[in-house]
């Protein structure tokens, strides 16, 4: 079924309930939101002449309009292509061309960067909030288009840390399944509960807009449209029972922000998208109490592979509490997970291999990329490219992306294990471990560290907790680490920097 039916129904049954918050105030109720989505849909189909299945891109920072646009596009039976607002115009141009989007809605401050890179296939570039946008909202509303579960709803472009981004095709069924999984296993929201969009709505946070709306929640957008810890805390104080999605780097910034947060008002901070080190989780737990949950997923199985619940994270008395904190939890009910070797043979419990998953929440393939689709989905399983192990209790622990693994003297070394140890030092703020090519060892372990710890102290820490051969042979102290727009550390760039340094 079409996801937009949820909004159409809510507009009828609960029209007066708040639907969108903007900063501290209510921006629109369900009746208004449903009407705006139906009018936008009317404009897209009748004025722009778009046909079922056509793609419409959105290039915008977080804004209240994001919600009406996504649901308006679905209401019209079209597919949305949300593009990360921080991409370079050239990168956005690639996505516009590759997706074949016929129309693009862009926020005013980004338009001049996009326009020169708009491909010939793009027929309309409309400024969100501008005169043409206002005119779209005066179009006649249409009824919600029929769309089967297999219809394309969202082309989710991967962050492209390994090359050109690929468009994971997310259908209405995939998104509905991911939304239900979130509500039943991560955050059982009640009607009226706020979901604060502290992270980009083009990515993980935007996915959670769907379950929030399904439960008649309030999608709250910060006025800064970015991530400002003080503003986030102010909004938590304003909106009781707030949940939010945050990348681990964001959680860290919240922990370090001295402003008063009123944790009692927080329902859940859901982190995911990158590893969170055990030391950081402990600090977050101290600061916010039992209000943290973890999800592990990727665009191809939209943020739904495994989850570690609030209860498990807060259960300090459990004998395996620390192991659990270091894990990414257990598979969601709707996903099968297996660990396989390079030939796709299943591995026994405890052994490390590639994480594969299967279920209704997995994408049917990549847009216009049959080779990548066949390779990634071979044998009917999504090959995540992540390396990990399942323990006897069914908890999944991620090691690293296979390409980040270091092979030194014939031994496999997973950087994360060393990073976890380095972060135990009180003067280490961030750490990232990579392999440096070496004529004798193949690769040697090198740690990039933000902070001012002594080498000897770091060495001693490593010797106390991990095998000697894993200890970094070199430490490089830096002011910051290269990160992408989602706050993920870019090991590829770090390796390139390291190659330059050691030339
Ligand atoms: P993306 O599709 O851009 O969201 O990136 C997904 C990738 O982020 C996954 O394949 C993992 O490598 C990583 N990731 C996501 N969630 C977690 C998590 N909870 N812990 C560690 N890494 C994660």
Report pLDDT for 408.
Answer: 84
Report pLDDT for 163.
Answer: 59
Report pLDDT for 426.
Answer: 93
Ligand 1 atom at minimal distance to the Cα of residue 203: 4
Nearest to 165 by CA among 114, 99, 101, 113: 99
Report pLDDT for 282.
Answer: 97
Model confidence at 231: pLDDT above 70: yes
Report pLDDT for 352.
Answer: 93
Helix (H) or strand (E) holding 38: helix 30-42
Q: Which carries the bigger pLDDT value, residue 145 or residue 87?
A: 145
Per-residue buried b or exposed e for 37-69, using 16+ beta carbons within 10 Å of the residue's own CB: bbbbbbbbbeebebeeebbbbbbbbbbbbbbbb
> How many C-beta atoms surround the C-beta of residue 233 within 10 A?
20
Number of residues in the chain: 503
Query: Which domains does the chain carry?
Result: 4-390 (3.40.50.12780), 405-501 (3.30.300.30)
Rounded distance from Cα 57 to ligand 1 centre (Å): 24
Least confident stretch, 52-56, 173-177, 185-189, 400-404: 400-404
Report pLDDT for 348.
Answer: 97
Calpha distance 420→28 (Å, rounded): 44
Ligand 1 atom at minimal distance to the Cα of residue 328: 19
385: left (phi over 0), alpha (psi -120 to 50) or beta: left
pLDDT, tens digit, for every residue of 235-278? 999 999 999 999 888 998 999 999 988 899 999 999 998 888 89
- Distance, C-alpha 294 to centroid of its chain: 12
Q: Residue 484 — very low, low, confident or very high, per pLDDT cuts 50/70/90?
A: confident
Q: Are 316 and 308 in contact (CB under 8 A)?
A: no
Share of the chain above pLDDT 90, in %: 84
Report pLDDT for 126.
Answer: 98
Mean pLDDT of 163-192: 95
Q: Report the nearest-CA residue for atom 7 of ligand 1.
A: 298
The chain-wide mean pLDDT, for the chain, equals 94
Calpha distance 132→458 (Å, rounded): 59
pLDDT, tens digit, for every residue of 396-413? 999 877 778 888 877 778
Ligand 1 atom at minimal distance to the Cα of residue 305: 16
pLDDT, tens digit, for every residue of 278-317? 999 999 999 999 999 999 999 999 999 999 999 999 999 9
> Sign (positive/negative) of CA torsion 304, 305, 311, 313?
negative
Ligand 1 atom at minimal distance to the Cα of residue 384: 10
Calpha distance 444→413 (Å, rounded): 10
Ligand 1: which residues within 6 Å by Cβ? 158-159, 272-275, 294, 296-299, 328, 384, 386, 398, 401
> What is the reported pTM?
0.88
Report pLDDT for 189.
Answer: 95
Report pLDDT for 405.
Answer: 81
Mean pLDDT of 480-501: 89
pLDDT, tens digit, for every residue of 346-356? 999 999 999 99
Q: Report the nearest-CA residue for atom 22 of ligand 1.
A: 274
Report pLDDT for 80.
Answer: 98
pLDDT, tens digit, for every residue of 2-32? 999 999 999 999 999 999 999 999 999 999 9
Model confidence at 162: pLDDT above 60: no
Q: Residue 363 — very low, low, confident or very high, per pLDDT cuts 50/70/90?
A: very high
Mean pLDDT of 211-215: 98
Mean pLDDT of 365-372: 96
């Amino acid at each position: 079924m079409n996801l937009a039916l949820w909004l159409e129904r809510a507009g009828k049954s609960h029209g007066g309930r708040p639907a969108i918050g903007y900063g501290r105030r209510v921006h629109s109720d369900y009746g208004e939101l449903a009407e705006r989505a139906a009018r936008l849909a009317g404009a897209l189909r009748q004025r722009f002449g778009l046909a079922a299945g056509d793609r419409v891109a959105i290039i915008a920072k977080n804004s209240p309009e994001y919600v009406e646009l996504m649901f308006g596009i679905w209401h019209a039976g079209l597919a949305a292509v949300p593009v990360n607002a921080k991409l370079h115009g050239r990168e956005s141009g690639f996505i516009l061309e590759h997706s074949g989007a016929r129309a693009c809605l862009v926020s005013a401050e980004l338009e001049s960067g996009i326009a020169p890179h708009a491909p010939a296939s793009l027929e309309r570039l409309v400024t969100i909030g501008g005169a043409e946008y206002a005119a779209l909202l005066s179009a006649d509303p249409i009824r919600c288009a029929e769309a089967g579960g297999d219809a394309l709803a969202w082309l989710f472009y991967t962050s492209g840390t390994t090359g050109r981004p690929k468009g994971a095709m997310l259908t209405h069924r995939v998104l509905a399944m991911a939304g239900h999984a979130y509500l039943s296993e991560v955050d059982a929201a009640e009607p009226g509960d706020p979901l604060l969009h502290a992270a980009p709505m083009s990515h993980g946070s935007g996915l959670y807009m769907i379950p929030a709306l399904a439960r008649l929640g309030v999608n709250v957008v910060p006025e800064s449209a970015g991530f400002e810890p003080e503003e986030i805390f102010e909004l938590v104080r304003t909106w009781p029972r707030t949940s939010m999605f945050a990348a681990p780097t964001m959680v860290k910034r919240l922990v370090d922000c001295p402003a008063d947060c009123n944790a009692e008002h927080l329902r859940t901070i859901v982190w995911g998208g990158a590893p969170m080190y055990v030391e950081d989780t402990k600090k977050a737990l101290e600061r916010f109490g039992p209000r943290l949950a973890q999800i592990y997923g990727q665009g191809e199985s939209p943020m739904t592979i495994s989850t570690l619940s609030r209860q498990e994270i807060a259960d300090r008395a459990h004998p395996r509490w620390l192991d659990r904190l270091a894990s990414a939890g257990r598979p969601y009910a709707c996903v099968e997970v297996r660990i396989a070797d390079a030939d796709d043979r299943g591995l026994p419990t405890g052994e490390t291999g590639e994480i594969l998953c299967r279920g209704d929440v997995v994408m049917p393939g990549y847009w216009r990329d049959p080779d990548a689709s066949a390779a990634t989905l071979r044998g009917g399983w999504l090959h995540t490219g992540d390396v990990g192990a399942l323990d006897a209790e069914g908890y999944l622990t991620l090691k690293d992306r296979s390409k980040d693994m270091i092979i030194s003297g014939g031994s496999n070394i997973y950087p994360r294990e060393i990073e976890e140890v380095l972060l135990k030092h009180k003067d280490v703020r961030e750490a990232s471990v990579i392999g440096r090519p070496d004529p004798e060892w193949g690769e040697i372990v090198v740690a990039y560290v933000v902070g001012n710890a002594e080498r000897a102290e770091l060495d001693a820490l490593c010797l106390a907790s991990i095998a000697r051969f894993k200890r970094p042979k070199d430490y490089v102290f830096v002011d910051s680490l290269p990160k992408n727009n989602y706050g993920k550390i870019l090991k590829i760039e770090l390796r390139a920097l390291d190659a330059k340094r050691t030339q």
